[in-house]
């Protein structure tokens, strides 16, 4: 659907501002991170050459790209999110660097416990032969999405949004470079501190947890066998997540001040603190990547849509990373929004119209608020030092462990395969 | 509204035109008097698109799947069907005897940047002028004309050999009297009062015979029902109230 498909149609038309031209696209995505790029690729592949998609992000400069390559974070991609990445042809670009999680062990313990009681195991496939999740390094996924976006014909531009003005037919976004863009839908995929969300006047409910997560990568002597381990230590969860080639990603939650202190320790002392928590099961360990502390926050936008505007990913919601659901939620947004926009466009209807956007919001907001409440509750339950609570959680999760049907539901829920599932998450093309 | 063209020898009913022209400004208001028509739109468009794609060998997933096809939208009103079909690539001629509706349609198309050829005229004049189309639509129109057989006969004359005609209307049953007139116009206020006259409603058999009289063969018929829980229209086997029919002219 070329906007303005009349006889006088031109991609560039004179805007009302005489100093600048206004360039028209169908969809403008602000933020070329994981959800923004995935959305761009899905839309472009589904709707073809006559449907224009542009993604802008200041990090698309050469320096920004170099910074992204030093990102120490890794992600758990659950089955539904993996199906989406497979369907849009991104998965095959880095599949050899994806480590399947074959087994998940949760322990509840104090730092001084020599034996940590295992009270929940998640050995599970969502379908026979389909692992519950894979571990992927951020930079690999981002590079693959970037390459796929270029191959699909998405216009990528190093720029940021400075103004946003919705109208009855188009929304206009002014970019920092001075370019004015008109789009039928503008998507805020610019992260937790979304500038576009702020420009549109959408408030968030937000708080900061008194915790930060230290993230780094370690290499170890013995093979992890695809096992993910989560120790619920008194300060918060300490997760050991398997990566390819005898490496693991560490997500280590501490009280905020302590996290800053630990992250800044000299190498030998950092190593000692790490080893105390990591345990000895995998033999000698060494830190092989940069380390960084990330403050943990919760935020939920009051609305996921505005006039000619849709929010996806962290711009819409940031949840506690305890259940590893952050990006997976973002990709659920992507799948629902891509399907909503594609359906409208294939009917010649306005993809940024009120009906289409309302449908996206109905689809996503309930799910997100629920997931946010569950992860927040889990964190409060597991971060508390009370002995009584420890009894409750031992007992509660012990029951879950003994009921196969309930556990299977937990696994499928965590894998994103419960509820009205968008096509891309089922592994079907749009 | 004072200027009302007289359509001598046509199937147009002047009183019906006045009814629709009075709300030219409301045509594009998704929550206005025509909100149920807006909600019906995705279903109507999908039906037209899918039949056209099947008949002309197009991929309905392409956003230009109607490219190169000439389409006539009879009784186009404010253009809420013409515009989306033009966006899908069809060369659309939208006709309506109501000058106010055509003015509203033209104004909207100019703002949304879609090219549609809107004309204040009737299908009889189009047929007389030997205009021919790949697709001819009479959506929510046949229940408003004075002579169904004559109207369909003239409309069918504008369908090219191998072309498609689609009509959507309301069946003449007790159920439709209860739902489409009493409930929709008087109780729920879904459509303005006086929109439909029960004696003008058309049964699927009558429509099929009219198609036949115009040299068309009926290829499909489907009911359309409102699902109050989903708040949306959907296709159904039940053709007692709203329904759509597709016919083709043999090549």
For B85, name the nearest residue in chain A, comparing CA atoms only: A348
Predicted local confidence at residue A415, as pLDDT:
54
pLDDT at B42 over 90: yes
What pLDDT does residue A389 have? 52
Nearest CA in chain A to B48: A347
Interface test with A, best of B31, B40, B58, B63 (most A CBs within 10 A): B63
- Reply yes or no on whether the pLDDT at A409 is more than 70: no
Nearest CA in chain A to B87: A348
Structural domain containing residue A152: 22-84+138-206+297-382+419-426
User: Taking CB atoms and an 8 Å cutoff, what residues of chain A touch B112?
Assistant: 169, 350
- Residue A13's Cβ-count burial label (10 Å; 0-12, 13-18, 19+) is middle
- Predicted confidence band of residue B4 (pLDDT cuts 50, 70, 90): very low
What would the pLDDT profile of A12-40 be if each residue is shown by its tens digit?
Answer: 343 344 345 789 999 999 999 999 999 99
Q: Count CA atoms within 13 Å of residue A419 on its CB side.
A: 20
| Opening angle at CA A257, ends A252 and A263, nearest 5 | 50
Candidate from A50, A168, A353 with C-beta closest to B63: A50
CA distance B199 to B72: 27
Is A163 a domain residue? Answer: yes
Residue range B14-248, CATH number: 3.40.50.150
Measured in whole angstroms, how far is the alpha carbon of residue A277 from the centre of its chain?
Answer: 27
Q: Do B85 and A46 touch (CB under 8 A)?
A: no
Q: Let me know if residue A347 belongs to a domain.
A: yes
A169 and B86 in contact by Cβ < 8 A? no
DSSP 3-state percent helix, strand, coil across chain A (nearest 5): 40, 30, 30
Decide if B245 contacts B137 (C-beta within 8 A): no
Which residue in A393, A249, A244 sits closest to A321, CA to CA? A249
Cβ <8 Å between B87 and A51: no
Beta bridge partners of A248: A218, A242
> Tokens 């209307």 map to which residue?
B169
Element (H, E) at A407: helix A404-414
Burial A254-275 (b: 16+ CB within 10 A, else e): bbbebbeebbeeeeeebbebbe
Residues of chain A contacting residue B84, judged by C-beta atoms under 8 Å apart:
347-349
* A148 within 8 A of A44, measured Cβ to Cβ: no
With 60 as the cut, is the pLDDT of residue A72 above it?
yes
Give the closest of A3, A6, A348 to B85, CB-based.
Answer: A348
Residues of B with CB under 8 A from a CB of A: 30, 38-39, 41-42, 45-46, 49, 60-65, 83-89, 111-115
Q: Which residues of B touch A50 (CB under 8 A)?
A: 63-64
B30, B60, B115 ranked by CB distance to A355: nearest: B30
Q: Which of A201-210, B12-21, B31-40 has the lowest mean pLDDT?
A: B12-21
Indicate yes or no: CB of B114 within 8 angstroms of CB of A48. no
Query: B187 versus A409: which is more confidently predicted?
Result: B187
Query: What pLDDT band is residue A373 in, cutting at 50, 70 and 90?
Result: low
List the alpha helices (DSSP H) in chain B. 14-21, 35-56, 82-87, 99-112, 123-128, 148-156, 174-176, 204-213
Per-residue pLDDT tens for B46-104? 999 999 999 999 999 999 999 999 999 999 999 999 999 999 999 999 999 999 889 99
Strand pairing report for B133-139 and B159-170: parallel
Average pLDDT, chain A: 82
Q: Say how far apart CA A412 and CA A211 lie, in whole Å.
A: 29
ipTM of the complex in this document: 0.88
pLDDT at position B95, please? 97
Give pLDDT tens digits for B193-229. Answer: 777 777 788 999 999 999 999 999 999 999 999 887 7
Token code pair at residue A177 = 């470079």
Residue of A nearest to B91 (CA): A6
Interchain pair A347, B45: CB under 8 A: yes
Compare A232 and A348 and report the one with higher pLDDT: A348
Asked if A346 lies within 8 A of B63 by C-beta distance, the reply is yes
pLDDT in tens, A148-182: 999 999 999 999 999 999 998 899 999 999 999 99
Q: What pLDDT, on a 0 to 100 scale, did the predictor assign at position A418?
A: 56
Cβ atoms of residues A57 and A36 within 8 Å? yes
Chain B residues within 8 A of A168 when measuring between CB atoms: 111
Q: What is the CATH number of the domain that holds A34?
A: 3.50.50.60
Contact flag A355-B38 (C-beta cutoff 8 Å): yes
A/B interface, count of CB pairs below 8 Å: 65
DSSP symbols for A176-231: TTS-EEEEEEEEE-S-TT-HHHHHTT--EEEEEEEEEEEEEEEEESS--TTEEEEE
Residue A336 lies in a domain: yes
pLDDT at A377 over 80: no
Does residue A37 belong to any structural domain of this protein?
yes
Task: Please tell me whether residue A397 adopts helix, strand or coil conformation.
Answer: helix
Would the pLDDT of A78 be above 80?
yes
Tell me how many domains chain A contains. 1
Closest chain B residue to A3, measured at CA: B113
Q: Which residues of B touch A348 (CB under 8 A)?
A: 45, 63, 83-88
- Three-state DSSP class for B212? helix
Q: What is the pTM of this model?
A: 0.85
pLDDT of residue B176: 77
Find the CB nearest B46 among A9, A347, A430.
Answer: A347
Contact A346 B61 (CB under 8 A): yes
Q: Do B61 and A353 touch (CB under 8 A)?
A: no
Summarize the confidence of residues B20-30 as an average pLDDT. Answer: 68
Is the per-residue pLDDT at B243 higher than 90? yes
Closest partner residue to A349 (CB to CB) among B84, B89, B111 is B84
Residue A10, pLDDT score: 35
B45, B85, B115 ranked by CB distance to A7: nearest: B115
A414 located within any domain: no
| Longest distance between any two alpha carbons in chain B, whole Å | 47
Tell me if A47 is assigned to some domain.
yes
Judged by CB atoms closer than 8 Å, whether chains meet at B63 and A7 is answered as no
Whole-angstrom CA distances from A323 to A214, A227, A230, A299 are 16, 16, 10, 16
Confidence (pLDDT) at A132: 77
Tell me whether residues B84 and A347 touch, CB distance under 8 A: yes
Residue A51: the pLDDT is 94
């Amino acid at each position: 659907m070329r906007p303005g498909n009349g006889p006088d149609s031109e991609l560039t038309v004179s805007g009302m501002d005489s100093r600048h031209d206004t360039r028209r696209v169908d969809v403008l995505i602000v933020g070329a991170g994981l959800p923004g790029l995935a959305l761009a690729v899905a839309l472009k592949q589904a709707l073809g050459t006559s449907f224009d998609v542009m993604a802008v992000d200041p990090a698309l400069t050469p320096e920004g790209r170099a910074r992204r390559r030093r990102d120490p974070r890794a992600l758990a991609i659950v089955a539904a999110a993996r199906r989406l990445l497979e369907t849009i042809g991104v998965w095959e670009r880095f599949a050899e660097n994806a480590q399947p999680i074959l087994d998940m062990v949760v322990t509840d313990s104090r730092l001084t416990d020599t034996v940590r009681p295992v009270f929940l195991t998640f050995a599970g496939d969502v379908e026979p032969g389909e692992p519950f999740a894979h571990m992927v390094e951020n930079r690999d996924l981002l590079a693959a999405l970037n390459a796929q976006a270029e191959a699909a014909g998405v216009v990528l531009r190093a720029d940021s949004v400075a103004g946003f003005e919705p109208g009855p037919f188009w929304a206009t976004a002014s970019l920092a470079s001075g370019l004015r863009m008109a789009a039928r839908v503008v998507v805020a995929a610019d992260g937790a501190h979304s500038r576009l969300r702020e420009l549109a006047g959408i408030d968030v409910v937000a708080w900061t947890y008194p915790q930060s997560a230290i993230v780094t990568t370690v290499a170890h002597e013995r093979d992890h066998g695809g096992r993910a381990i989560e120790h619920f230590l008194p300060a918060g969860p300490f997760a050991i997540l398997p990566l390819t080639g005898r490496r693991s990603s560490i997500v280590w939650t501490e009280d905020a001040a302590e996290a800053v202190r630990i992250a800044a320790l000299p190498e030998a002392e950092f190593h000692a603190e790490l080893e105390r928590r990591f345990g000895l099961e995998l033999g000698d360990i060494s830190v092989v990547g940069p380390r960084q502390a990330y403050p943990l926050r919760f935020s939920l936008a009051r609305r996921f849509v505005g006039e000619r505007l849709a929010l996806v990913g962290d711009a819409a919601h940031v949840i506690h990373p305890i259940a590893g659901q952050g990006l997976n939620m973002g990709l659920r947004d992507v799948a629902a929004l891509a399907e909503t926009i594609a359906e409208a466009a294939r009917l010649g209807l306005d993809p940024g119209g009120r009906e289409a956007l309302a449908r996206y919001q109905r689809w996503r907001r309930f799910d997100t608020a629920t997931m946010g409440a569950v992860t927040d509750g889990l964190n409060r339950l597991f971060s508390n030092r009370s002995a009584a609570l420890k009894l409750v959680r031992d007992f509660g999760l012990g029951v879950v462990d003994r009921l196969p049907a309930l556990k299977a539901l937990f696994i499928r829920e965590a894998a994103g395969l419960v509820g009205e599932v968008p096509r891309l998450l089922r592994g079907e093309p749009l | 509204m004072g200027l009302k063209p007289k359509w001598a020898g046509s199937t147009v009913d002047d009183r019906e035109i006045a009814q629709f022209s009075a709300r030219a400004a409301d045509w594009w208001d998704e929550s206005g008097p025509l909100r149920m028509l807006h909600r019906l739109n995705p279903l109507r468009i999908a039906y037209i698109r899918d039949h056209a794609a099947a008949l002309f060998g197009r991929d309905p997933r392409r956003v230009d799947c109607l490219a190169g096809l000439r389409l006539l939208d009879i009784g186009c009103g404010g253009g809420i069907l013409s515009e989306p079909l033009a966006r899908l690539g069809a060369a659309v001629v939208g006709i309506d005897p109501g000058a106010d509706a055509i003015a509203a349609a033209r104004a909207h198309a100019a703002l949304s940047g879609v090219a549609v050829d809107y004309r204040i005229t009737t299908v009889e004049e189009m047929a007389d002028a030997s205009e021919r189309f790949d697709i001819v639509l009479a959506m929510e129109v046949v229940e408003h004309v004075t002579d169904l057989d004559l109207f369909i006969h003239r409309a069918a004359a504008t369908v090219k050999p191998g072309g498609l005609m689609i009509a959507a209307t309301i069946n003449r049953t007790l159920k439709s009297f209860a739902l489409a007139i009493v409930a929709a116009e008087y109780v729920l206020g879904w459509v303005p009062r006086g929109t439909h006259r029960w004696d003008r409603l058309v049964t699927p058999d009558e429509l099929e015979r009219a198609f036949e009289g115009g040299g068309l063969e009926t290829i499909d018929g489907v009911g359309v029902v409102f699902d109050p829980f989903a708040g949306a229209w959907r296709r159904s086997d039940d053709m007692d109230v709203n329904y759509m029919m597709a016919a083709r002219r043999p090549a």
